[in-house]
Chains A and B, each alone.
Chain A
Amino acid sequence: MSWPDRLRTLVQEPIVPFLIVGAGLFGLQGALDAKAPKGDTQIVVSNDQAVAMVQAFARTWQRPPSQEELERLFDEHVRTEVFVREAMALGLDRNDTIVRRRLRQKMEFVSHGEQPLPTPSDQQLQAHLEAHPERFSSEPRFSFQQVFLDPSRRGEQLTRDAEALLAQLNQGDAAADPSSLGDPLAMVSASREGESRSELLAQFGSTFTDALQQQPKGRWVGPISSAYGIHLVRVSSIVPAELPPLDHVRDGVLRDWQDVQRQEHQESYYRDLLARYSVRVPQF
Chain B
Amino acid sequence: MPSRVRALALTGVIALASGLSSCTSGPGTPLESKAAASSVIEDPQCASGNRAYFGDTHLHTALSPDAGLAGTKLGLDEAYRFARGETVTSNSGQQAALKRPLDFLVVADHAENLGLAQGMEKSDPELLKSPLGQQLNDLLKAGKGLEAFNLLVQKMGGGRDALISNDAYMRSVWEYNTEVAERYNAPGKFSTLIGYEWTSQPGGGNLHRVVVFRDNKALADQILPFSAFDSEDVEDLWAFMNYYEENTGGRVLAIPHNGNLSSGTMFLPRHQKTGEPIDADYARMRHRFEPLVEVTQAKGTGETHPLLSPEDEFAGFNIVDHTNLGGTKPITPDMYPYEYARAALRQGLQLEQQLGVNPFKFGMVGSTDSHSSLPSTAEDNWWGKAPMLEPSPERWKDVLIKSAKDASLDLTALQLGASGLAGVWASGNTRTALWDAMARKEVFGTSGTRLTVRVYGGYDYTGEELKAADWAQQVCADGVPMGGDLMAASEGQIPSLLVQARKDPDGANLDRIQVVKGWLDADGETHEQVFDVSWSDPDQRMRGADGKVPSVGSSVNEREATYTNTIGAPTLTGYWKDPAFDPSQKAFYYVRVIEIPTPTWLAYDRKNYNLYDEMPATAPYTSQERAYTSPIWYNPS
Pick the contact of A187: B10, B118, B201, B469 (CB < 8 A): B469
Cβ-based interface call for B77 (8 A): yes
Query: Which of these binds chain A: B62-70, B306-314, B600-608?
Result: B62-70
CA distance A226 to B403 in the complex (A): 48
Pick the contact of A202: B100, B131, B140, B454 (CB < 8 A): B100
CA distance A178 to B151 in the complex (A): 73
List of B residues within 8 angstroms of A152 by Cβ: 569
**Is A25 a contact of B404 with CB atoms below 8 Å?**
yes
**Is B51 a contact of A184 with CB atoms below 8 Å?**
no
Pick the contact of B12: A63, A88, A109 (CB < 8 A): A63
List of A residues within 8 angstroms of B8 by Cβ: 51, 54, 64
**Is B166 a contact of A52 with CB atoms below 8 Å?**
yes
Query: Which of these binds chain B: A10-18, A161-169, A234-242?
Result: A10-18
Cβ-based interface call for A228 (8 A): yes
Nearest Cβ in chain B — how far from A153, in angstroms?
Answer: 11
**Is B122 a contact of A112 with CB atoms below 8 Å?**
yes
**Is A105 a contact of B50 with CB atoms below 8 Å?**
no
Write out, one digit per residue, whether chain B residues 588-607 have a CB within 8 A of any chain A CB (1) or not (0): 00000000000000000000
Pick the contact of B85: A46, A198, A206 (CB < 8 A): A198
**Is B153 a contact of A99 with CB atoms below 8 Å?**
yes
List of B residues within 8 angstroms of A201 by Cβ: 100, 505-506
Pick the contact of A98: B69, B103, B123, B150 (CB < 8 A): B69
CA distance A198 to B104 in the complex (A): 13
List of A residues within 8 angstroms of B387 by Cβ: 1
**Is B9 a contact of A70 with CB atoms below 8 Å?**
yes
Query: Which of these binds chain A: B224-232, B514-522, B556-564?
Result: B224-232
Write out, one digit per residue, whether chain A residues 61-72 have a CB within 8 A of any chain B CB (1) or not (0): 011111100100
Pick the contact of B17: A58, A98, A186, A227 (CB < 8 A): A58
Q: Indicate whether A19 sits within 8 Å of B157 (C-beta atoms), given known contacts A9-B401, A58-B17, A59-B19.
A: yes
Write out, one digit per residue, whether chain B residues 160-197 have a CB within 8 A of any chain A CB (1) or not (0): 10100111000000000000000100000100000000
**Is B505 a contact of A202 with CB atoms below 8 Å?**
yes
Interface on chain B toward A: helix, strand, loop, or mixed SS? Answer: loop
List of B residues within 8 angstroms of A62 by Cβ: 16, 20, 243
List of A residues within 8 angstroms of B2 by Cβ: 47, 50
CA distance A20 to B153 in the complex (A): 12
**Is A113 a contact of B14 with CB atoms below 8 Å?**
no
Write out, one digit per residue, whether chain B residues 500-512 have a CB within 8 A of any chain A CB (1) or not (0): 1011111100000
Please report the total number of A residues contacting B with Cβ < 8 Å. 87
Nearest Cβ in chain B — how far from A237, in angstroms?
Answer: 20
Write out, one digit per residue, whether chain A residues 104-143 have a CB within 8 A of any chain B CB (1) or not (0): 0111011011100000000000000000001100000000
CA distance A49 to B470 in the complex (A): 63
Q: Indicate whether A228 sits within 8 Å of B570 (C-beta atoms), given known contacts A14-B110, A112-B122, A134-B86.
A: yes
**Is B402 a contact of A255 with CB atoms below 8 Å?**
no
Cβ-based interface call for B117 (8 A): yes
Cβ-based interface call for B276 (8 A): no
**Is B5 a contact of A70 with CB atoms below 8 Å?**
yes
Query: Which of these binds chain B: A30-38, A78-86, A215-223?
Result: A78-86
Tell me the total A-B contact number using a CB cutoff of 8 A.
Answer: 250
Cβ-based interface call for A271 (8 A): no
CA distance A25 to B528 in the complex (A): 45
Nearest Cβ in chain B — how far from A205, in angstroms?
Answer: 3
CA distance A59 to B21 in the complex (A): 9
List of A residues within 8 angstroms of B153 by Cβ: 19, 84, 88, 93, 99, 102-103
CA distance A184 to B165 in the complex (A): 60
Cβ-based interface call for B145 (8 A): yes
**Is B158 a contact of A15 with CB atoms below 8 Å?**
yes
Write out, one digit per residue, whether chain B residues 47-87 have a CB within 8 A of any chain A CB (1) or not (0): 00011001000000000011011110000010001000111
> Told that A56-B17, A70-B1 touch, could you supply 11 new A-B pairs with CB distance under 8 A?
A9-B403, A11-B400, A15-B112, A48-B130, A64-B8, A101-B69, A202-B100, A205-B506, A227-B505, A228-B571, A255-B77
Q: List 25 A-B contacts (CB under 8 A).
A: A11-B70, A11-B386, A12-B400, A15-B65, A17-B157, A47-B4, A50-B2, A56-B160, A58-B16, A59-B224, A64-B14, A67-B1, A88-B150, A88-B153, A102-B153, A103-B149, A109-B117, A134-B86, A187-B502, A188-B469, A205-B506, A226-B505, A227-B503, A227-B507, A228-B571
The 8 closest A-B pairs by CB, nearest first: A205-B505, A80-B157, A113-B123, A17-B158, A184-B469, A227-B505, A59-B17, A109-B120
Listed in ascending order, the chain B residues whose CB lies under 8 Å from chain A are 1-2, 4-5, 8-12, 14-17, 19-20, 50-51, 54, 65-66, 68-71, 77, 81, 85-87, 99-101, 103, 110, 112-113, 116-124, 130-131, 140, 145-146, 149-150, 152-160, 162, 165-167, 183, 189, 199, 201, 224, 226, 228, 230-231, 236, 243, 325-327, 386-388, 399-404, 411, 450, 454, 466-472, 500, 502-507, 569-571, 573
